Amino acid sequence: MTDPRTDELADRLAATRERLDAARAAAGRTEEVDLVVVTKFHPVADVIRLARLGVRDLGENRVQEAAAKVADLAAADADLATTVRWNMVGNIQSNKAVAVAGWADRVHSVHSVKVARGLDRGRARLADENDGVGPLPVLLQLSLDGDTSRGGVTREDLPALADHVAGLEHLRLAGLMVVPPLEGEAATHFADAAEVASGLRRAHPGATEFSAGMSGDLEAAIAAGSTCVRVGTAILGPRPVV
């Protein structure tokens, strides 16, 4: 009944879940860690396969591609579409933020007040049109090395951004996200980010999520306290060149 690609995705998904379990055991952690499967650059056919395999959290990093996939999934199988949560993990231009709120169920990559305001406005629009739309959970993306061209807010600017987001009616400040700088040890960067995440949690007790770890470094992230890993390549294979 299954095609070879579905078998491949199922095998890699199982292998990734084993890595997560082993990393949690090694870190002495018993609580679940969210797995966001990052489907960017891969076709909606893979999204459908993953959703049928029971994947709940899907991740995208480009606005247009994501919106098209969300629509294609709903058109292909409306019931299946209700079983997934879409996570925006990529850099958001402030003029695209309203659009992101049109499809995202959680946003990991808020880096500025402008982006936060756009998301808030977009979510307000959705709430006007549909009953039962609550605040959008958002994470602030931390730039550890201060090179904000790779996305994120500096640790100096983070507290003010957090206070601003916490005051927006249609957003819920859920936590911190980090992509470690290329230079240096991932483990050191994750430990550093975890400190910032606990500082954020002290100021905003609801900001409990710490989104850290990708295909190559999820063990180090879980050791540092990650509550959510974002995995693409280890499950879907190399991204097609476009």
Ligand X SMILES: *Cc1c(COP(=O)(O)O)cnc(C)c1O
176 vs 234 by CB, closer to ligand X: 234
> Closest approach of Cβ 124 to ligand X, in Å?
26
- The residue ranges that bind ligand X (CB under 6 A) are 38, 40, 61, 89-90, 179, 214-216, 230-234
42 vs 170 by CB, closer to ligand X: 42
Nearest residue to ligand X, by Cβ distance, number only: 232
Classify residue 133 as exposed, middle or buried by CB count within 10 Å of its CB (0-12, 13-18, 19+). Answer: middle
> Closest approach of Cβ 61 to ligand X, in Å?
4
* b (16+ CB within 10 A) / e for 39-50: bbbbebebbbbb
Report yes or no: 66 and 103 within 8 Å, Cβ to Cβ. Answer: yes
167 vs 184 by CB, closer to ligand X: 184
44 vs 127 by CB, closer to ligand X: 44
16 vs 73 by CB, closer to ligand X: 16
How far is Cα 216 from Cα 182, in angstroms, rounded to an integer?
Answer: 12
Please say whether the dihedral angle defined by the alpha carbons of residues 129, 134, 140 and 141, taken in this order, is positive or negative. negative
Give the residue among 122, 129, 80, 128 at the shortest CA–CA distance from 105. Answer: 122
> Closest approach of Cβ 37 to ligand X, in Å?
9
> Closest approach of Cβ 59 to ligand X, in Å?
7
> Closest approach of Cβ 104 to ligand X, in Å?
14
